[in-house]
Amino acid sequence: MKVYLTEGLLHKTGLCKAARFMLLFVLILSAFTQSNADDMLKNAIDEDYAYIHKLYTHLHSHPELSFHEQKTAKRLAKELRETGFEVTEGVGGYGLVALMRNGEGPTVMIRTDMDALPIEEKTGLPYASTQSHQGDDGHTVPIMHACGHDIHMSLFIGTARRMAAMKEHWSGTLMMIAQPAEEWGVGARLMLEEGLFERFMRPDYNLALHVHPELPSGSVAVVPGYSFANVDSVDISIYGQGGHGAVPQSTKDPIVLTAHIVIALQTIVSRELSPQDAAVVTIGSIHGGTKHNIIPEQVDLQLTVRTYAEETRKKVLQSIERITKNQARSFGIPEDKLPVVHIKQKYTPAVYNNPVLSQRIHEHFEKRLGSEQVRSIEPEMIGEDFALYGRVKPHIPSLMFRLGAADPTAYKQAKQQNTSLPPLHSSYFAPPPEATIKTGIEAMTEAALLLLKKQ
């Protein structure tokens, strides 16, 4: 922080010379105090990093799938209790709620996710995961933290430790929650259905972050408004009249009908929506038939649909059903055998970052982290059930900001060579932990301190 004041500017205040001198002294002292406080936070994070890094490598090498985060939750609960939080376990599955009450003031919620993915890690890291899980179906799958939840949890604990050590600098209640089953898009709903905001506290603000694989470590980004998308899952069963592949004229081929439907569905975004409305309709799975020369009775499709605005979402889903059934009618499929379009009711809504809160945090990050470290990025079509915490009535101002998680050298090379870095959910996703975690702790701590600032 710098103070740009001249004697002329001070003279315009109308204060006497002694008062002007005192004002200048107070401003300089304030700037010095803030700069000193910033240095103290950075130094404290540096000193605590060895502890947090050990926690990180443990979490990375011991991932657990959605709905199975038992050991992970126990470890986080232990860390939070030792830091001075009141901890309640088993909220919405293996979810945790931790409270630190520190006098009068607002309540700020900070959320982390805990679950990993069924992916075999190929990073070659010395602490790479070798864990696997045998499901109820008898199949064993490898497990990896390929979405950065191990980073999220580590800096979550790092932030808790810093806030506990800095209680004289803030006032209010800090509510930290560790959420299960984010990868399934249901963990937030489970915690809310078990009375998260009724049994504990209703926050005045909700905060979270998510690593970004194409931002360099050491940087952050704030996207005001829509940041992540609505995520709908759609199942379609297409029926026909099966028979011998050599006599197709006596059948109604559901595979050919499916091909027409797949192509026709692509016209929803290109021809039914305004170019200003973002949407994605992706067919991720097609299953039908058993043998070369048999025309089957049925083909099944699985779709993912991504949108931002609720009106766009409704229009896209209605168009999927209209196109699918009318294509079937054009093939002569009778009304009692039209395709069945099943749209799952419990979808993941779009993350909407409160614009006022976003601007406030963005400006604060520029002051504390440096404007060169605060990047601008576009909204993305991935999903995040953090959105649900802000959508309770009345709505709670919420913000999920992004944390750079790409090795700076690799990031620079990728930009120069126009190549891609390993994305989220890649078996090669490996953020450089020190710069990523330290920046995450500093950014989240600064955001919490701003919202819990003593009056």
Tokens of 306: 């991504």
Which residue shows structure tokens 């304030």? 30
pLDDT of residue 136: 75
User: Which parts of 266-354 fold into alpha helices (H)?
Assistant: 267, 310-330
Rounded CA separation 323/303 (Å)? 14
pLDDT tens figures, 72-121: 999 999 999 999 999 999 999 999 999 999 999 999 999 999 999 999 99
The better pLDDT of the pair 245, 9 is held by 245
Domain boundary among 308, 343, 378: 343
- pTM of the predicted model as reported, rounded to 2 decimal places: 0.89
The pLDDT of 374-403, averaged and rounded, is 96
Tokens of 105: 């003031």
Do 216 and 316 lie in a common domain? no
For the chain, percent of residues with pLDDT exceeding 70: 92
pLDDT of residue 202: 98
Do 47 and 137 lie in a common domain? yes
Q: Are 69 and 114 in contact (CB under 8 A)?
A: yes
Rounded CA separation 455/453 (Å)? 6
Is residue 261 classed exposed, middle or buried when 0-12, 13-18 and 19+ CB atoms within 10 A define those classes?
Answer: buried
Q: Looking at the predicted structure, is the pLDDT value of residue 8 above 80? A: no
Q: Looking at the predicted structure, is the pLDDT value of residue 9 above 60? A: no
Q: Looking at the predicted structure, is the pLDDT value of residue 233 above 80? A: yes
Q: Which domain holds residue 444?
A: 39-228+350-451
- Predicted confidence band of residue 23 (pLDDT cuts 50, 70, 90): low
Do 387 and 292 lie in a common domain? no
Polymer length of the chain: 455
Do 255 and 200 lie in a common domain? no
Backbone angles phi, psi at 270, to 5 degrees: -80, -25
Is residue 120 classed exposed, middle or buried when 0-12, 13-18 and 19+ CB atoms within 10 A define those classes?
Answer: middle
Specify the amino acid at residue 198.
E
Buried b (16+ CB within 10 A) or exposed e, 287-321: ebbeeeeebbbbbbbebbbbbbeeebbebbbebbb
Domain boundary among 343, 363, 387: 343
Do 235 and 217 lie in a common domain? no
Q: Are 24 and 10 in contact (CB under 8 A)?
A: yes
For the chain, percent of residues with pLDDT exceeding 90: 89
The pLDDT of 308-329, averaged and rounded, is 97
pLDDT of residue 1: 45
Do 331 and 309 lie in a common domain? yes
Do 334 and 304 lie in a common domain? yes
Do 215 and 236 lie in a common domain? no
- Predicted confidence band of residue 192 (pLDDT cuts 50, 70, 90): very high
Q: Looking at the predicted structure, is the pLDDT value of residue 5 above 80? A: no
- Whether residue 312 lies inside any domain: the answer is yes
pLDDT tens figures, 250-272: 999 999 999 999 999 999 999 99
Q: Looking at the predicted structure, is the pLDDT value of residue 6 above 90? A: no
